[in-house]
Amino acid sequence: MFHDLTLADVRAETPDSVVLTFDVPADLSGAFSYQPGQYVTLRADVDGTDQRRNYSIASRPGAPLCVGVKRVEDGVFSSFAQSLKPGDTLAVMPPEGRFVCKNQTDLVLIAAGSGITPLISIASDALARGARVTLVYGNRQTETIMFRDTLDALKDQYLERFTLIHILSREAQDVALLNGRVNGEKIAALAHAGAIDLQGSDGIFLCGPGGMIDDVVEELKSQDVKPALVHFERFTMDGEAPRAPKSRAAEDAAAHGVAVSVYLDGTRRDFQFEAQDDTVIDAAERQGLELPFSCKGGMCCTCRCKVAEGSAEMAVNYSLEPWELEAGFTLACQARPTSENLVLDFDAA
Ligand code: FES
């Protein structure tokens, strides 16, 4: 699942972010091929604890795989990443994720902070294949803008088809419309001023904090933008994610103990879910069994699996789509059994 990859380059991008470029050996090039918008999970032992984080790929397919890591306050992995050097190795899971841009021809991209990372991959790939791209990018100030040089280079190269709109919250710009935060109101104002064309776009991609995404998505709904055209990815939660408490059925099942079986890479493993366990991943970990996971926040889908027998509820779900829920998929990092036994299939497509 994880592969040790060597860092070919580590570049300071802003005072609080680095870009890590990996050397992917030829025999792993197939496993590490990716679509614009996907992410990789990085894993490292930091001060004796196993840490995993997802980082969106910033490069465009065909270019050396790189990710941008912005240091977050008290962020164990993001602080550790700032100290990495070329030649260091990291355990990396092959690219995943369904926040991908395929063949849209008129894109509106909306990012805040390090939410630019998947969108710069999407923008550079789309521009190279002839699409029109408008990027609204929110930051505090000029010095915190990630990939500024890359964006300027894209602007020079695709002057006719690339519109770049910087919104700054702590640095005044001459045009009042460009000051403030990226939110639904700002997007509505930009659309009203003719700076972005929401109705003419065949793909609107958002990446940033959950609050920004929720607000902009609401605004897009009120502007009658078809939901199928809107794609978003949250890179972090605003504070603690609201988690539903265990239902009565889940409490009862846990109190009696649930026999859980998982199928992973063709092998069956059994363990017990008990009252002390919050989720299936917690129960497995407590019993020394490692299941796939990364964010543990219901956002990345790394722990996606199918309920083959029994039933389970989720504490939160920010990533499974309605058709997946109907098909019986769940997120093991959020799943709580509501039946006497539970069989989860991690190999289900
Ligand atoms: S580990 Fe990310 S959704 Fe479960």
Three-state secondary structure of 248-316:
HHHHHHHHHCEEEEEEECCEEEEEEECCCCCCHHHHHHHCCCCCCCCCCCCCCCCCEEEEEECCEEECC
* 298 CB within 6 A, ligand 1: yes
Helices and strands (DSSP H and E) totals, the chain: 8, 18
Q: What are 18's two structure tokens?
A: 């680095």
Q: What mean pLDDT value characterizes the chain?
A: 94
Distance 154 CA to ligand 1 centre (A): 33
The phi and psi torsions of 330 (rounded to 5 degrees) equal -145, 175
According to the model, what pLDDT value does residue 287 have?
Answer: 96
Within 13 A of 243's CA, how many CA atoms are on the CB side? Answer: 18
* Ligand 1 atom, smallest distance to 54 CA: 2
* 279 CB within 6 A, ligand 1: no
Q: How do strand 3-14 and strand 17-23 relate by DSSP bridges?
A: antiparallel
**Is the confidence at residue 241, as pLDDT, over 70?**
no
Which residue among 295, 316, 329, 346 has the greatest number of ligand 1 atoms within 8 angstroms of its CB, and so is best to mutate? 295
Distance 242 CA to ligand 1 centre (A): 15
According to the model, what pLDDT value does residue 318 have?
Answer: 86
Q: What is the pLDDT of residues 290-345, one digit of tens each?
A: 999 888 889 888 899 999 999 999 999 988 988 899 999 999 999 999 999 999 99
Which CATH number is 106-234 given?
3.40.50.80
* Ligand 1 atom, smallest distance to 331 CA: 4
* 183 CB within 6 A, ligand 1: no
At residue 276's C-alpha, the angle toward residues 275 and 280, to 5°, is: 85
Q: What is the pLDDT of residues 165-221, one digit of tens each?
A: 999 999 999 999 999 999 999 999 999 999 999 999 999 999 999 899 999 999 999
Q: What is the pLDDT of residues 68-97, one digit of tens each?
A: 999 988 889 999 999 999 999 999 999 998
- Indicate the CATH number of 248-345 among 3.30.1330.10, 3.10.20.30, 3.30.540.10, 3.40.630.10: 3.10.20.30
**Which residues face 211 on adjacent strands?**
none
Report the percentage of the chain scoring pLDDT > 70. Answer: 98
User: 206, 217 in Cβ contact below 8 A?
Assistant: yes
Residue 156 pLDDT class (50, 70, 90 cuts): very high
CA-nearest of 164, 158, 208 to 184 is 208
According to the model, what pLDDT value does residue 238 have?
Answer: 43
Q: Would you call 243 helix, strand, or coil by DSSP?
A: coil
* 293 CB within 6 A, ligand 1: yes
Q: How distant, in Å, are the alpha carbons of 96, 230, 270, 307, 322 from that of 326?
A: 22, 21, 25, 11, 6
* 295 CB within 6 A, ligand 1: yes
* 319 CB within 6 A, ligand 1: yes
Q: How do strand 49-56 and strand 106-112 relate by DSSP bridges?
A: unpaired
Distance 28 CA to ligand 1 centre (A): 24
What span, in angstroms and rounded, lies between the C-alpha atoms of 305 and 328? 9
Domain boundary assignment for the chain: 3-96, 106-234, 248-345
CATH 2.40.30.10 fits 3-96, yes or no: yes
What span, in angstroms and rounded, lies between the C-alpha atoms of 201 and 104? 9
**Which residues face 314 on adjacent strands?**
335
Residue 234 pLDDT class (50, 70, 90 cuts): confident
Q: What are 312's two structure tokens?
A: 């389970």
CA-nearest of 206, 243, 253 to 101 is 206
- pTM score of the predicted model: 0.86
* 301 CB within 6 A, ligand 1: yes
Q: What is the pLDDT of residues 251-283, one digit of tens each?
A: 999 999 999 999 999 999 999 999 999 999 999
User: Do the first three CATH levels of 106-234 and 248-345 match, i.e. the same topology?
Assistant: no
